[in-house]
């Protein structure tokens, strides 16, 4: 099977792409030495591309297993995040950087080890956490002061059978970074990170499904809120955070203003080569169907009512900017269609057959006819 290609197609972004990105970002205030723990997955490449376009010196530290051919002109150091394995993170010892961006830390012990080792020689630490760090998703418009999740045993190093510990572990990682480098950490809590090169197949499901045409099941209501952030916008902002020595806690989702779910699906329809007909199906009905799981969308009710309404005002004030969501839709679809068939990501969401079954069942319960 072909290897998933990067958003900018391989080891370098190319002269034209670099010029365009550098022009959009503007001149950097000062050249930064940036260490990225990870760097070749999804968010990492977007950050590297933004940083190098602004003339910064970038070093990657990872195991060298995920797309090792990316960025041949960027310094790479290899090792395992776990100091108990081989030489661990000793390749970082004694080296100096202005800032470290940690987008591969999932367990507090490992984040603590990295931050403590780097602390004497790195001025600032940016930890990529998650909006899942919060314990309560029912309150609309909550900000960074909301309570974070906890777990009965903070030494556990697994996500749990249903990923129930993911958010609590992220919150503990934030604390570990702050304890190691007090006053020098930016904890960034993204929502769904989406766009070209996304390996999850979640957001991508929607423009690809729309491009298939036909009757398309739209769960919930057009007025339901939805939040996500284009990986390129997040990568560019992380570089801004590094340049401006920003610290603190930030929700990093988007867009800046409330986006109705219906508007996003309309953008998917507009980008489609065979525009589908949206058929809206109630959230309660969808939620009650076995095996009918839609990515990104969650019911705008009960315990998930506030999930897509987190306040991002603090991040916007710190320079976070968003490209039009319709552009993210178009670029994601174009990227997906450009991949070889055997190299495309597996899409989340129901199969075409399961979706058709659900629509038939919905119509039958509603009296047999299609919705207007």
pLDDT digits (tens, 9 = 90+) for 181-237: 999 999 999 999 999 999 999 999 999 999 999 999 999 999 999 999 999 999 999
| Structural tokens at position 35 | 């260490």
CA distances from 138 to 51, 191, 228, 295 (A): 36, 15, 18, 19
303 or 3, higher pLDDT: 303
β-partners of residue 230 are: 194
> Rounded CA gap, 362 and 293, in Å?
15
- In this model, does residue 14 exceed pLDDT 50? no
d(CA 146, CA 311): 11
Average pLDDT over residues 330-345: 96
pLDDT of residue 148: 98
Mean predicted confidence (pLDDT) in 125-148: 98
Which pLDDT does position 371 carry in this prediction?
47
Average pLDDT, the chain: 92
Which residues are within 8 A (CB) of 150 and not within 5 positions of it... i.e. 6 or more apart? 135, 168, 171
Is the pLDDT score of 370 beyond 70?
A: no
- DSSP run (H or E) holding 123: strand 122-128
* pLDDT digits 0-9 by tens, 250-285: 999 999 999 999 999 999 999 999 999 999 999 999
Per-residue pLDDT at 1 exceeds 90:
no
Mean pLDDT of 337-359: 96
Taking only the tens place, the pLDDT of each residue in 46-68 is: 999 999 999 999 999 999 999 99
CA distance 340 to 63: 27
Own/partner long-range contacts of 334-339 (Cβ < 8 Å, ≥24 apart): 334/196, 335/7, 335/196, 335/197, 336/204, 336/207, 336/208, 337/211, 339/2, 339/4, 339/5
CATH superfamily of 15-365: NAD(P)-binding Rossmann-like Domain (3.40.50.720)
| 95-134 per-position pLDDT tens digit | 999 999 999 999 999 999 999 999 999 999 999 999 999 9
Task: Tell me if 56 sits within 8 A of 82, measured CB to CB.
Answer: no
pLDDT of residue 10: 38
Which residues touch 257 (CB under 8 Å, ≥6 apart)? none
Rounded (10°) CA dihedral 222, 264, 227, 259: -60
Percent of the chain with pLDDT over 70: 91
């Amino acid at each position: 099977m072909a290897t998933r290609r990067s958003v900018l197609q391989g080891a370098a972004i190319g002269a034209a792409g670099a010029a365009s990105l550098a022009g959009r970002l503007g001149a950097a205030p000062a050249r930064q030495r940036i260490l990225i723990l990870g760097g070749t997955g999804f968010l990492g490449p977007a950050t590297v591309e933004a940083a190098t376009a602004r003339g910064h010196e970038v070093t990657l530290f990872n195991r060298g297993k995920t797309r090792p051919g990316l960025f041949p002109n960027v310094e790479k150091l290899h090792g395992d995040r776990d100091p108990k394995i081989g030489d661990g993170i000793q390749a970082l010892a004694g080296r100096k950087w202005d800032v470290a961006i940690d987008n591969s830390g999932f367990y507090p012990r490992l984040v603590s080890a990295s931050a403590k080792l780097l602390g004497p020689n790195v001025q600032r630490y940016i930890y990529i956490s998650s909006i899942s760090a919060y314990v309560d998703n029912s309150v609309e418009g909550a900000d960074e002061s909301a309570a974070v999740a906890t777990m009965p045993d903070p030494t556990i190093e697994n996500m749990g059978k249903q990923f129930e510990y993911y958010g609590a572990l992220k919150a503990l990682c934030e604390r570990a970074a702050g304890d190691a480098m007090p006053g020098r950490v930016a904890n960034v809590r993204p929502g769904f990170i989406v766009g070209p090169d996304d390996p999850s197949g979640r957001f991508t499901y929607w423009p690809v499904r729309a491009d298939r045409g036909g009757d398309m099941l739209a769960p919930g209501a057009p007025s339901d809120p939805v939040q996500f952030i284009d990986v390129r916008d997040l990568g560019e902002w992380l570089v801004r955070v590094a340049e401006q020595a920003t610290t603190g806690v930030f929700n990093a989702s988007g867009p800046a203003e409330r986006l109705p779910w219906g508007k996003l699906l309309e953008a998917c329809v507009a980008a489609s080569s065979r525009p589908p007909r949206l058929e809206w199906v109630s959230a309660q009905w969808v939620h009650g169907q076995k095996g009918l799981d839609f990515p990104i969308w969650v019911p705008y009710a009960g315990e998930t009512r506030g999930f897509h309404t987190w306040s991002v005002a603090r991040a916007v004030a710190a320079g976070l900017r968003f490209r039009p969501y319709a552009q993210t839709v178009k670029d994601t679809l174009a990227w997906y269609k450009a991949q070889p068939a055997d190299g495309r990501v597996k899409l989340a969401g129901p199969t075409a057959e399961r979706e058709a079954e659900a629509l038939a069942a919905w119509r039958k319960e509603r009296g047999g006819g299609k919705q207007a």
